[in-house]
Chain A
Amino acid sequence: MINGISINYYLLLSTVLFIIGAVGVMARRNSIIIFMCIELMLNAVNLLLVAFSTLHGDASGQVFVFFVMAVAAAEVAVGLAILSMIYRNVKSIDTDILSNLKN
C-alpha cells in the first residue's frame, strides 16, 4: 500500500497505459504518432518505477527514471531528426510508404 493505494493498482494502471501505447504503435500510420505512443509506453514504465521506488522506499528507482528520461529525450531527438530527413526525401512520414525494404 502506498498512501492507501495498493501497488496492484499502479501495476494495472501502468500496464494499461503501456498497452495503449503499444496499440498506438500498431494501429497508427503516422510515424510521429508512433513515436509519441512509444513515449507513452516509456512513461507508463516510469510511473511503475516511481511507484515501486516509493513502495520500497528506495531512491534508485526514481534515479532510474532520470536515465529513462534522458534516453527518451535522446531517442526523440534522433528519431525526429531521422523523420525530418525522411520527410525531406519523400515528403511523407507515412509508415506504409516507408516499406520499400521487404522480401
Chain B
Amino acid sequence: MLGYTITQWLFGILSFLSIMFALMVVFSRNPVNSILYLVLTFFCIAGLYLLLNAQFLAVVHIVVYSGAIMVLFLFVIMLMNLNQDNEPQRATLNKIIAGVSGGMLLVVLVGSLKGGEQLGLQSYGSSQIGLVKNLGKVLFSEFLFPFEIASILLLAALVGSIMIGKKEIK
C-alpha cells in the first residue's frame, strides 16, 4: 500500500494516535478525560512495543501502567472529586510561554537529534530478545544487583506512602 509495509503503516498510525492522545492529555479540561486519554496513549505505546518485538514488555506495560498506575490516578481524582470541566486554568500567557518554550525545545532537539541512521546503526540482533526467557536471563544475571536493590526502592516507596498516608495520631 502506497509503497509502505504494514509495519510502517502501523507505526505511522500508532505514532499519530499516541501523539494525538498525548496532546489530548495535556489539553483536556477535565482531569478524568486526561486520564482516559493517557491510558489510550499507553495502549498506543504498547502497540509500538509490539512492533519492536518487545512482547513481554508490552504486556507488562499495559498491566503496570494502564492497569495499576492509571487506576491509581483515577482513584485519587475521584477521591478528590476533581471530575469537573471548570478546573482552574493557567493564564493564557503562561500557556503560550509554556507552549513556545516546549516548541523551542522540540525544535532544538529535533535539530540536534539527527544522524542515527547515517551512522550505520542497524538491527543486527535477533528479534528474540524481547521474550520472557531472554529478559529473565539478563535480568537475573547481569542486572541482579539492580533488581535486588530495586526492592529497596519499592520498600522505600511503600514505607513513604504509608507514612504520609496515615492519619496523624494526635
Judge A-B direct contact (beta carbons within 8 Å): yes
Mark A residues whose CB is within 8 Å of B: 1-9, 11-13, 15-17, 19-24, 26-30, 32-33, 35-37, 39-40, 43, 46-47, 50-51, 53-60, 62-63, 65-67, 69-78, 80-85, 87, 93-94, 96
B79 and A84 contact, CB distance less than 8 A = yes
A39 and B38 contact, CB distance less than 8 A = yes
Inter-chain contacts of A46 with B (CB < 8 A): 45, 61
Min CB distance B35 to A, Å, is 7
Q: Smallest CB-CB separation from B15: which chain A residue?
A: A13
Q: How far is the CA of A17 from the CA of B21 in the complex (A)?
A: 10
Number of cross-chain contacts by CB at 8 Å: 234
- A17 contacts which of B18, B69, B88 (Cβ < 8 Å)? B18
Inter-chain contacts of A39 with B (CB < 8 A): 38, 65, 69
Mark B residues whose CB is within 8 Å of A: 5, 7-8, 11, 15, 18-19, 22-23, 25-26, 31, 34-35, 38, 41-42, 45, 48-49, 51-54, 56-57, 60-61, 64-65, 68-69, 72-73, 76-77, 79-80, 82, 87-90, 94-95, 97-99, 101-102, 105-106, 109-110, 113-114, 116-117, 121-127, 129-130, 134-135, 137-139, 142-143, 146, 150, 153-154, 156-158, 160-162, 164-165
B165 and A63 contact, CB distance less than 8 A = no
B77 and A32 contact, CB distance less than 8 A = yes
A36 and B25 contact, CB distance less than 8 A = yes
A70 and B150 contact, CB distance less than 8 A = yes
A63 and B106 contact, CB distance less than 8 A = no
- B80 contacts which of A12, A13, A87 (Cβ < 8 Å)? A87
Inter-chain contacts of B15 with A (CB < 8 A): 9, 13
B123 and A50 contact, CB distance less than 8 A = no
B123 and A54 contact, CB distance less than 8 A = yes
Inter-chain contacts of A33 with B (CB < 8 A): 25-26, 31, 34
Q: How far is the CA of A46 from the CA of B61 in the complex (A)?
A: 10
Q: Smallest CB-CB separation from B41: which chain A residue?
A: A40
B89 and A12 contact, CB distance less than 8 A = no
5 other A-B residue contacts (CB within 8 Å) besides A16-B19, A85-B164: A9-B15, A11-B113, A32-B73, A55-B123, A63-B138
Min CB distance A43 to B, Å, is 6
A70 and B116 contact, CB distance less than 8 A = no
Inter-chain contacts of B114 with A (CB < 8 A): 8
B135 and A63 contact, CB distance less than 8 A = yes
A43 and B41 contact, CB distance less than 8 A = yes
B146 and A73 contact, CB distance less than 8 A = no
Q: How far is the CA of A9 from the CA of B127 in the complex (A)?
A: 19
